[in-house]
Amino acid sequence: NAGVTQTPKFQVLKTGQSMTLQCAQDMNHEYMSWYRQDPGMGLRLIHYSVGAGITDQGEVPNGYNVSRSTTEDFPLRLLSAAPSQTSVYFCASSPDSVRGTEAFFGQGTRLTVV
Amino acid sequence: GDSVTQMEGPVTLSEEAFLTINCTYTATGYPSLFWYVQYPGEGLQLLLKATKADDKGSNKGFEATYRKETTSFHLEKGSVQVSDSAVYFCALPNSGNTPLVFGKGTRLSVIA
């Protein structure tokens, strides 16, 4: 059971380039979310999804797009990378929307924008 | 919305010392509360949780008690080891259907 898989693990982009961070889970979880982790800021929610075809914005959505066409996959797209998007990105999934459900995290993608 | 405040780090302790990391929360109702741990170079993993007031979550020698009256969920361990060096996050589900909201994290370093 692989859990939550993120690719790539590391990425360097030039300002203005676009890319997609991949996230896949094999636990049949309805909930998926993307966070970014910055020093001194903890984890901040970017976007989340409560099921296939349904997404919503989190605390820091600007500059990012998401879609959820299948239960398993939840890619995060950077439209035009900026140095402020240099961060570590984590994808998480959880079984349902009931409050109190544990989240499972991927290993993270470390992104540097130069 | 709901929020979590946890003590700032970093915290440096000698092996076998007692650990407390404070966490207080603001929430609608009585959600479950969580502590997650992030070891160097890894993602977050659940350390322990408590689902209702006065519950005590425990795992790997760590404990935390859900205190409704003080809205707190402090993490404790009686004798830390070098292998406990990590970043610890307090978390709770946000109101409605939104995912977990996290504290800013506390970096713990344990020296031999």
Chain A residues whose CB is inside 8 A of the B102 CB are 35, 42-43
Quick one: pLDDT band at residue B27, thresholds 50, 70, 90?
confident
Q: Does A100 touch chain B (CB under 8 A)?
A: yes
Q: What is the rounded average pLDDT of the residues B51-73?
A: 95
In angstroms, the separation between the Cα of residue B32 and the nearest Cα of chain A is 5
Instruction: Among A96, A99, A102, pick the best mutation site for testing chain B contact (most B Cβ within 10 A).
Output: A99
Instruction: Flag whether pLDDT at A1 surpasses 70.
Output: no
Instruction: Give the pLDDT band (50/70/90) at residue A98.
Output: low
pLDDT of A53: 94
pLDDT surpassing 70 at residue B97: no
> Percentage of residues in chain A with pLDDT exceeding 70?
96
Distance from CA of B82 to the nearest CA of A (A): 22
Over the stretch A24-70, which tens digit does the pLDDT of each residue have? 999 999 999 999 999 888 899 999 998 999 999 999 999 999 999 99
| Confidence check: pLDDT of B48 > 90 | yes
> Measuring CA to CA, how many Å separate B100 from each of A16, A84, A108, B26?
31, 23, 17, 13
In the structure, what pLDDT confidence band is assigned to residue B72 with cuts at 50, 70 and 90?
very high
**A88 vs B3, which has greater pLDDT?**
A88
Q: What are phi and psi of B42, to 5 degrees?
A: -120, 170
Alpha carbon distance A64, A55 (integer Å) = 12
Question: Is B102 within 8 Å of A31 when comparing Cβ atoms?
Answer: no
**Rounded distance between C-alpha atoms, residue A18 and residue A15, angstroms:** 9
- Residue A35 or residue B27, greater confidence: A35
The pLDDT value recorded for residue B96 is 63
Candidates A32, A36, A43: best to mutate against B (most CBs of B within 10 A) is A43
Residues present in chain B in total: 112
Mean pLDDT of the B24-45 span: 90
Residues of chain B with C-beta less than 8 angstroms from the C-beta of A102: 34, 46, 49
Q: Does B61 have pLDDT greater than 60?
A: yes
Q: Which of A102-111, B5-14, B23-32, B60-69 has the lowest mean pLDDT?
A: B23-32
Mean pLDDT of all residues in B10-32: 93
Q: Cβ–Cβ of B32/A99 closer than 8 Å? A: yes
Give yes or no for residue B89 having a pLDDT over 60: yes
Q: What is residue B31's predicted lDDT score, i.e. its pLDDT?
A: 84
**Residue-level pLDDT at B108:** 96
